Chain A
């Protein structure tokens, strides 16, 4: 049996074929553990390049809409069968019509509730409307999961409206996922550049290996639970401070900074005091996150269109100063830094950022769950018992 040096070697995380069982290194947090074999996406640790279905993201970012990339990830069809793509897109868009009871449920909850919790409640309620206790899941799962991608987008739009005290709005099936979301965020028709930006963000967020929401969903789906259970579980892993919360922190840190000088001083003081700069550091990259470079460029362009040049300069100053001080420690800028700022320019408040990123991530999550379900195997590792030796209640009563 081959041993994979997943942590101390230069394992590429790419093989022609994997023969189970495998032997690998195992580190803290199950780092180095091979939890699945996949054809969905590959991140090359040596170059930091990312590809979806073997298509490098540079050939997708800015050139393909999120709907097209979701199609690529979920179906694996690189040839792009136009009629299949059309029906995929229609299904995705039409699933955004939410039952009125679910919309009311969202609007009945406090608008200040964290959006990730509202989203989770909304998805859970949808599951009750979509599946009765008599439903047999066989044969239709693929279709159901696709619907949830559209439903999550629609719920996030509703939540964005609810947070700003706006009324509910049925999405127009002629409009893309990105366009309807921007209407909900901006209350007006988005510009071409804004539309392109949201599609770009979702494309770049669409998949990134077994992040916690995706892996949680796979574990839950491996029990053959219905898809609403695995999405609710995945959403429960979305906002831990170590994860989706990062985007929120970026905005909480950057937006109050008044000038480039303030920004530099703030970075210096924060790091001197042992604090953290959100949007820096990533477990997988020992170099700049390739997605961050693409988003930096986009941020420059959108900031110009929006006359937000000052914000761009401040962000750039923070990035440069932090890179100077953190780079030698192996902490580099990651996707969340410029993504959070872009979501901000698109009209999102900080708390909404994890939900917005999740709309994109749904594509990879669904693709990986469906891939796993082709030959499902229950996820059940073991734990080693190091506790109290065998004892008896009688001893307790006597003693």
Chain B
């Protein structure tokens, strides 16, 4: 690991540290040419639809899939932390209803962090105990933040449900069909890890200072909220909503292309080919939209994607995961401003895995700035 070793190498890189190899990892890799996303050796398309989110989280955090007993223990631990401190819910009541749900969720997490049972312990063992609590608290707090948008009170968690289904239950106030829950769970799985993207890198910088894992997650969330990042799935859906039906897509896309518009949910720094997460999610999105009588959204999205990729594909710009998750979150009944939240819940798993991997002897990350005044 470069961050931890003592060796000095020489590298070439661009602005934004593009191309810099900042460290080594065993968590996963992205192949931006072949369009592959791999967690601990397993391709993501094998994991989604076959395993639960809890199993995939365990895999990412621990390196191997759990056996029956390990899984039971991990599920119990996650379920144990489903009731965050009351303090955080009280804080939610002081916030304006029209604030962004991700910002409210952030605030609830910062308040909950004022009440952590072992706030001061940052030894490795203490850090390793944290992911279950963070994942679980985050789910309950995020669900409450989403309900707050409509002035609805929080919903008590259900101990008999898995992570994905319980989140939906707490956010919506009812349990969607098992097909819908499976589609949502698949979306969490494909978004659970994505290399050292900006948010994971921000979390890394924070953990390197000796801070606690929850602080690192808060930094990751910040990076995820930006329009170039997780916030993009909200913008991508809102763009799609501007389009009435598949027929006027072609002229609309052409007009936007002429104006040099950047389509949210299209193009990626790593993938220069179709995004494998999109491929995994397509059948789920189509099925859920058809079941809800929203075929026109599906047809419109296909037409828009086709039209954009026809022109931009040769330049390596394809639909990315942010373009498709809204097609699942909307029919489930989540408001578009809440779309970044499931992404955040899922991908914090990857951030935590990267942080725990960095910790054992990672040095404080402190690059330099060159004065060119």
A residues in contact (CB < 8 Å) with B: 1, 3, 6-8, 13-18, 20-42, 53-54, 101-102, 104-105, 108-110, 113-114, 117-118, 120-121, 124-125, 127-129, 131-134, 209-212, 215-216, 219-226, 228-230, 232-233, 236-237, 239-243, 245, 283, 368, 375, 377-393, 396
Contacts of A39 in B (CB 8 A): 371-373
Q: Is the CB of B364 within 8 A of A29?
A: yes
Q: Is the CB of B228 within 8 A of A393?
A: no
A118–B112 Cα distance when bound, in Å, is 11
Q: Is the CB of B223 within 8 A of A125?
A: no
Given A32-B8, A233-B219, decide whether A223 and B210 contact each other with a Cβ distance below 8 A: no
A101–B36 Cα distance when bound, in Å, is 48
What would 4 more interface pairs be, CB under 8 Å, given A131-B99, A387-B25? A29-B363, A131-B103, A377-B18, A387-B41
A199–B209 Cα distance when bound, in Å, is 27
Set B14, B21, B95, B225: member contacting A384, Cβ < 8 A:
B21
Q: Is the CB of B17 within 8 A of A381?
A: yes
A5–B98 Cα distance when bound, in Å, is 51
Contacts of B24 in A (CB 8 A): 383-386
Given A28-B2, A216-B205, A393-B47, decide whether A378 and B198 contact each other with a Cβ distance below 8 A: yes
Q: Is the CB of A391 within 8 A of B18?
A: no
Set B41, B114, B210: member contacting A241, Cβ < 8 A:
B210
Q: Which residue of A lies closest to B229 (CB)?
A: A223
Q: Is the CB of B2 within 8 A of A222?
A: no
A383–B17 Cα distance when bound, in Å, is 12
Q: Is the CB of A237 within 8 A of B367?
A: no
Q: Is the CB of B106 within 8 A of A124?
A: yes
Q: Is the CB of A129 within 8 A of B11?
A: no
Q: Is the CB of A129 within 8 A of B96?
A: yes
Which of the candidate stretches B86-94, B134-142, B275-283, B288-296 sits at the interface with the other chain?
Answer: B86-94
Shortest B84–chain A CB gap in Å is: 14
A242–B208 Cα distance when bound, in Å, is 9
Report 22 cross-chain contacts, Cβ distance below 8 Å, ordered by A residue.
Answer: A15-B372, A21-B12, A23-B10, A28-B7, A29-B3, A33-B368, A104-B94, A121-B114, A212-B208, A220-B202, A222-B16, A222-B198, A223-B225, A225-B224, A232-B110, A232-B219, A239-B209, A379-B17, A381-B18, A381-B21, A383-B23, A388-B26
Q: Is the CB of B371 within 8 A of A38?
A: yes
B4-50 interface (Cβ within 8 A of A): 4-29, 38, 40-43, 46-47, 50
Set A7, A129, A223: member contacting B224, Cβ < 8 A:
A223
Q: Is the CB of A117 within 8 A of B113?
A: yes
Contacts of A224 in B (CB 8 A): 226-228
Contacts of A233 in B (CB 8 A): 202, 206, 218-219, 221-223
Given A131-B99, A388-B26, decide whether A215 and B11 contact each other with a Cβ distance below 8 A: no
Q: Is the CB of B114 within 8 A of A385?
A: no
A27–B206 Cα distance when bound, in Å, is 18
B residues in contact (CB < 8 Å) with A: 2-29, 38, 40-43, 46-47, 50-51, 63, 65, 87, 90-91, 94-96, 98-101, 103-104, 106-107, 110-111, 113-115, 119-120, 122, 149, 195-199, 201-202, 205-206, 208-211, 215-216, 218-219, 221-229, 231, 269, 337, 354, 362-373
Contacts of B87 in A (CB 8 A): 108-109
Set A29, A127, A216: member contacting B103, Cβ < 8 A:
A127
Given A25-B9, A229-B226, A240-B211, decide whether A219 and B202 contact each other with a Cβ distance below 8 A: yes
Most chain B Cβ neighbours within 10 Å, of A41, A54, A385: A385
Q: Is the CB of B368 within 8 A of A209?
A: yes
Q: Is the CB of B226 within 8 A of A26?
A: no
Given A216-B205, A384-B23, decide whether A41 and B371 contact each other with a Cβ distance below 8 A: yes
Q: Is the CB of B372 within 8 A of A37?
A: yes
Q: Which residue of A lies closest to B269 (CB)?
A: A380
A33–B366 Cα distance when bound, in Å, is 8
Most chain A Cβ neighbours within 10 Å, of B10, B50, B371: B371
Q: Which residue of B lies closest to A210 (CB)?
A: B369
Contacts of A16 in B (CB 8 A): 372
Set B26, B103, B198, B365: member contacting A386, Cβ < 8 A:
B26
Contacts of B29 in A (CB 8 A): 385, 387
Q: Is the CB of A125 within 8 A of B91?
A: yes
Q: Which residue of B lies closest to A387 (CB)?
A: B26
Contacts of A245 in B (CB 8 A): 210
Q: List 9 tightest A-B contacts by C-beta distance, closest first.
A: A223-B226, A240-B209, A387-B26, A29-B363, A229-B222, A240-B210, A388-B41, A128-B99, A377-B16
Q: Is the CB of A216 within 8 A of B367?
A: no
Most chain B Cβ neighbours within 10 Å, of A8, A33, A109, A379: A379
A8–B9 Cα distance when bound, in Å, is 11
A396–B201 Cα distance when bound, in Å, is 32
Q: Which residue of A lies closest to B15 (CB)?
A: A377
Shortest B326–chain A CB gap in Å is: 16
Shortest B94–chain A CB gap in Å is: 4
Given A22-B12, A233-B218, decide whether A211 and B20 contact each other with a Cβ distance below 8 A: no
